[in-house]
């Protein structure tokens, strides 16, 4: 993949396919179309004899929301044949989904090299204070408060970034309120994982520099997950 990236002069690099994991590239990546073509070969559709087609196209999604009281996702569906609507609920099995994400993130590590991660660690250390660099090496995370918005960000290796503000102005109470969990992989990511196509610390560097240089742009481009969702990685 490195040789192919050099041959076509693609400075972003070429994402490495990992068996059983689908790649979701940024829509602006020049190879997004080729990756989709490759995935049609790697992951062919179910044969017609095995696919369940009884209800295909019968129901249209009208709306969906999350019920905090019942911890269920509620889907409002319209029967295309009769025009009637009905509600269908699905419980959230967050712990098992998080386990799935964790295990598949381990599998995605096959796409990275130790040399690339070591170079990224050296680069990141030059962008951080000594204390930030120490906490990142020891915990895989560090804090930084934006001078513009005063929002505090918890940057994490292999997890989305947590945006927080103080819960109140009482200096004796330092509890924080989670505004959102911001997930952004500039090149792309492996679906149903917390892994990006770049090495983990390269993703952290990209998000950190975007926050420092264009904080509103960071919020616009990132997926904003609720704190309780498995995708948030909390």
Supply the pLDDT for residue 205: 96
Distance CA 192, CA 21 (A): 8
Mean pLDDT calculated for residue range 12-40: 71
Distance CA 89, CA 69 (A): 13
pLDDT digits (tens, 9 = 90+) for 180-205: 999 998 888 888 899 888 899 999 99
Supply the pLDDT for residue 47: 46
Supply the pLDDT for residue 173: 53
pLDDT beyond 60 at 51:
no
Mean pLDDT calculated for residue range 90-106: 77
Supply the pLDDT for residue 46: 46
Cβ atoms within 10 Å, residue 32: 16
Give the predicted TM-score (pTM) of the model: 0.69
CB 161 within 8 A of CB 181: yes
Mean pLDDT calculated for residue range 13-31: 74
Arithmetic mean of pLDDT over the chain: 81
Instruction: Tell me the three state secondary structure of residue 180.
Output: strand
pLDDT beyond 70 at 55:
no
């Amino acid at each position: 993949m490195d040789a192919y990236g050099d041959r076509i002069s693609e400075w972003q690099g070429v994402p490495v396919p990992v068996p059983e994991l689908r790649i979701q590239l940024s829509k602006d990546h020049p190879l997004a179309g080729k990756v989709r073509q490759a995935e049609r070969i790697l992951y062919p559709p179910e044969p017609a004899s095995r696919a369940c087609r009884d209800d295909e196209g019968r129901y249209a999604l009208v709306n969906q929301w999350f019920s905090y009281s019942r911890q269920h996702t509620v889907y409002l569906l319209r029967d295309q044949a009769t025009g009637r609507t009905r509600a269908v609920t699905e419980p959230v099995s967050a712990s098992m989904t998080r386990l799935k994400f964790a295990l598949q993130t381990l599998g995605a590590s096959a796409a990275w090299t130790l040399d690339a991660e070591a170079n990224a660690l050296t680069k990141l250390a030059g962008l951080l204070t000594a204390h930030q660099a120490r906490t990142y090496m020891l915990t895989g995370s560090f804090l930084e408060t934006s001078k513009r918005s005063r929002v505090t960000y918890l940057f994490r290796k292999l997890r989305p970034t947590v945006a927080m503000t103080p819960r109140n102005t009482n200096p004796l109470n330092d509890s924080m309120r989670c505004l959102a969990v911001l997930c952004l992989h500039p090149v792309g990511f492996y679906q149903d994982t917390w892994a990006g196509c770049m090495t983990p610390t390269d993703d952290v560097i990209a998000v950190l520099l975007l926050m420092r240089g264009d904080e509103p742009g960071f919020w616009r481009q990132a997926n904003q997950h609720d704190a309780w969702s498995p995708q948030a990685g909390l």
